[in-house]
Amino acid sequence: MSEASTRRYAGLFGVVASLFIIVQVPLYFLYSGAPPDWNILTRSLIGITGCTLYVVYFIGLRQLIVKVSPAHDWLGSIVQMAGLLWVAMVFVPQSMEVGAAISVDHDIDTTTEGPFAAAQYLMQGGISRLLMALFLIAFGITVLRLRLLPAWVGRSAFVVAAINLAFVPAVYFGDDAADFYSAQGWGTTASMGALWSVWTLAVSVGILRSARSTTTAPRASAVRSGQRVATHLG
């Protein structure tokens, strides 16, 4: 697969995956109390579908890095593995939420209630924040070193990574989901998901746009080479 095609597919899957998560996040705020089962099941299905698409996105990013510079394969591997592990951290809590909603015979807030709630705190909070930060730092370094995307992508990756790391100590501040800064607070979980999806959407659009310039650049170079040859022969 050519570099242009890799950019095109990675960008496309990134855009679609981001849109799924952008749709999912508001569903967590529809009800002030315990949401009905349909809400929990719907938002979880949307979330795991988006994360499944992110799997292709992360693999595509590694392929792009390797195509641009095979010597940076180790950074590409960090980007891919951090992303895939983050997906796993999303799958497990989503499964716990759905399981609790189905098994309990009355409406509950599955983020803080039910048999699996406490087990989700680190996965949706500290662990996800650390994995996301690892991905963002590795990706930011790669972008700035190889210039495979505009510089704003690399710089903004460091900013978003710093914000994620700032929420890691939230585990010391209780588990009230209504609090912005707590182990299961809406700032630690939902707001970070929203920030992530908006950032990946912007980056994925940039990757799609770069595919066009990557396609035209070799053609322009070939034309210039042909002109030089023709001038020399003339």
Comparing CA positions, the residue from 178, 142, 160, 154 lying closest to residue 64 is 142
d(CA 212, CA 215): 5
pLDDT at position 230 over 50: no
Predicted confidence at residue 1, as pLDDT, reads 82
Average pLDDT, the chain: 89
d(CA 144, CA 209): 18
d(CA 148, CA 60): 13
pLDDT at position 114 over 90: no
pLDDT at position 218 over 70: no
- Joined together, the tokens standing for residue 132 give 């996301």
For residue range 131-183, what is the model confidence (pLDDT) as tens digits? 999 999 999 999 999 999 999 999 999 999 999 999 999 999 988 888 899 98
Q: What predicted TM-score, i.e. pTM, was given to this entire model?
A: 0.87
For residue range 19-48, what is the model confidence (pLDDT) as tens digits? 999 999 999 888 888 899 999 999 999 999
Tell the residue number behind the tokens 């003339």, with chain if given.
Answer: 234
- Joined together, the tokens standing for residue 142 give 């790669």
Per-residue pLDDT band for 233 (boundaries 50, 70, 90) equals very low
Q: Which of 80-84, 100-104, 196-200 has the lowest mean pLDDT?
A: 100-104
Task: List helix spans (H) across 69-116.
Answer: 73-103
For residue range 70-79, what is the model confidence (pLDDT) as tens digits? 999 999 999 9
